[in-house]
Amino acid sequence: MEPNYDESKVPVYTLPPVWPEGMTPERWRDEFRPRLLRQFAELLYGEIPPPPEETRPELRAERAGALNGLAVRREFRLHFRNGTATAELDVLLYLPTRRPGRVPAFCGLNFYGNHSVTPEADVFPSSGIGPEGPIRQDQVGAYCHRLPLTEILTRGFAAATAFYGQLCPDQPGAVETGIHRLFPGCARPATALAAWAWGLLRIRELLARQPELDPAQIGVFGHSRLGKAALWAGVNDERFARVISNDSGEGGAALTRRCFGESVAAITSRFPHWFTPRFAEFAGRENELPVDQHQLLALVAPRPLHVASAAEDLWADPRGEFLAWREALPVWRALGIPVPEPGDELPPNGGIPGYCACHRRPGVHDLLPEDWACYLDWAAAFSPVTGGR
Ligand code: GTR
């Protein structure tokens, strides 16, 4: 079926609530929030498996004076063991050389290998399956724009990344060959998004143990399918201090019920391994889905959330991402955190800054230095507050 790009063909819909009538902060936290998490696990993402019995971090290389002196570079290999099964994840970490104290950090997965997001040719290259098949080891720095290390480090943040394909190959039918192998007794179906989110949780734990980092200031980010993974990780582990969704679109930050751009039918037929089979059942019956994505965004509360879109990325439904963000805001408000009261449209400059921020930059589907400029300003300005208790 042709994707709908016509605003006048968006069906009339009713969104399920983020803060039902009569809700209290206590009941939201203790009952409503866990129920929503369970529904999202069942209907979309699958449960994130538990931590393995053993995680052993091996420091494979450390280099002071990286990035022209701006950073200390560490390359870890996480060795996971559960029962007799093992798996590995290679994490590339840059710490700012100048540190006024314990510094904040961002972590996120990459699509094309650790070597693709750094200009430094002497990092350990990743290998495995990426979005278009096996990744190429000669692509050193080819995706540097998605992780502008100089800007991030100069602003005093650390950055950590790992190759998503090492956690779970992005191929239908191959999901059980990823980290899900470690958990044969665990709730099924196993999904790729749950495997990628699991990896983000393990990276957060590694970062929390670095003495140079502030464990209470570790944020998670992701672009596109990895933005979906970042959201799923961020709502499951509340120790992530902040959550960034960059162009995460369908099954990410965009409202499913709008049926604009990528549809349930399209995403679940091209990428059946990302979600549980339940999601596909709602193709053409989006209104009957018990959840919608504003509720997922609301699960980030009371922590800071940033949702970003690109104006030409109609496949990801930028307006649907803005509306999901706007419809999630009542939760922050109810938890006593001041957030904007946006109208029906984003302002002409495309952004609403604040503790819960939203921006839409011109251009196409990508994670760009100009997105990072917004994220860095936002992260520098807002630390998580503990609301709602
Ligand atoms: C597209 C997919 C989107 C988005 C994107 C990406 O093909 O339809 O949902 O996840 O891939 O990850 O780049």
**What does the CA dihedral 252, 369, 350, 3 come to, rounded to 10 degrees?**
-40
- Confidence at residue 187, expressed as pLDDT on a 0 to 100 scale: 73
Cα separation, 57 vs 80, in Å, equals 9
For residue 101, the CA-to-ligand 1 centroid distance in Å is 38
- Say whether 6 sits in a helix, a strand or coil: coil
Q: Whose CA is nearest to atom 8 of ligand 1?
A: 267
* Measured distance CA(49)–CA(142) in Å, rounded: 32
* Strand, coil or helix: 235: helix
8 A C-beta contact, residue 158 and residue 221: no
Cα 225 to ligand 1 centroid, rounded to whole Å = 5
| pLDDT at residue 156 is higher than 50 | yes
- Which percentage of the chain shows pLDDT scores above 90? 94
Amino acid identity of residue 92, one-letter, is L
User: Per-residue confidence at 349, pLDDT binned at 50, 70, 90?
Assistant: confident
The Cα–Cα gap between 157 and 221 comes to: 13
Q: What is the pLDDT of residue 348?
A: 78
Do the beta carbons of residue 201 and residue 207 sit within 8 Å? Answer: no
Pocket test for ligand 1, best of 112, 224, 256, 268 (most atoms within 8 A of CB): 224
Summarize the confidence of residues 79-99 as an average pLDDT.
Answer: 98
Whether 249 lines ligand 1, by a CB cut-off of 6 Å, is: yes
Does residue 224 carry a catalytic annotation? yes
Task: Return the structure tokens found at 236.
Answer: 């499951």
pTM summary value: 0.98
pLDDT, tens digit (0-9, with 9 covering 90-100), for 31-75? 999 999 999 999 999 999 999 999 999 999 999 999 999 999 999
234 lines ligand 1 (CB under 6 A): no
**Closest by Cα among 351, 53, 287, 381 to 186:** 53
Structure tokens that stand for 306 in this block? 């940033």
Strand bridging mode 103-110 / 213-223 = parallel
Q: How far is CA 144 from the centre of its chain?
A: 18
Q: How far apart are CA 94 and CA 118, in angstroms?
A: 10
Question: Ligand 1 in contact with 267 (CB < 6 A)?
Answer: yes
Q: Which one of the listed residues 224, 245, 248, 263 is annotated catalytic?
A: 224
Cα(249) to centroid of ligand 1, in Å? 8
> Can you tell me the distance from the alpha carbon of 324 to that of 327, in angstroms, rounded to the nearest whole number?
5
Predicted local confidence at residue 387, as pLDDT = 41
For the chain, give the number of residues.
389
CA angle at 350 for the pair 154 and 385, rounded to the nearest 5°: 60
Q: How many Cα atoms are found within 13 Å in the side-chain-facing hemisphere of 251?
A: 32
Distance from Cα 32 to the centre of ligand 1, integer Å: 30
Categorize the per-residue pLDDT at 213 as very low, low, confident or very high, splitting at 50, 70 and 90.
Answer: very high
Three-state DSSP at 327 gives helix
Active site residue: 79, 127, 145, 365, which one? 365
Give the three-state DSSP class for 226.
helix
Residue nearest to atom 13 of ligand 1 (CA): 224
Express each pLDDT in 223-242 by its tens digit: 999 999 999 999 999 999 99
pLDDT tens-digit map of 127-141: 999 999 999 999 999
Alpha carbon distance 139, 155 (integer Å):
27
Percent of the chain past pLDDT 70, that is, above it, reads 99
Ligand 1: centre distance to CA 81 (Å):
31
**pLDDT value at residue 13:** 97
Tell whether omega for the bond before 25 is within 30 degrees of 0, i.e. cis.
no
- pLDDT band of 386, cuts 50, 70, 90: low
For the chain, the average pLDDT equals: 96
Is the shortest distance between the CB of 250 and ligand 1 below 6 Å? yes
DSSP 8-class letter at 261 = B
Spatial contact of 109 and 164, defined as CB atoms under 8 Å apart: yes
Q: Does residue 317 line the site of ligand 1, with CB under 6 A?
A: no
**Cβ–Cβ contacts within 10 Å for residue 177, how many?**
12
The pLDDT tens digits of the residues spanning 243-288 come to 999 999 999 999 999 999 999 999 999 999 999 999 999 999 999 9
> In terms of Cα–Cα distance, which of 14, 109, 46, 38 is closest to 299?
38
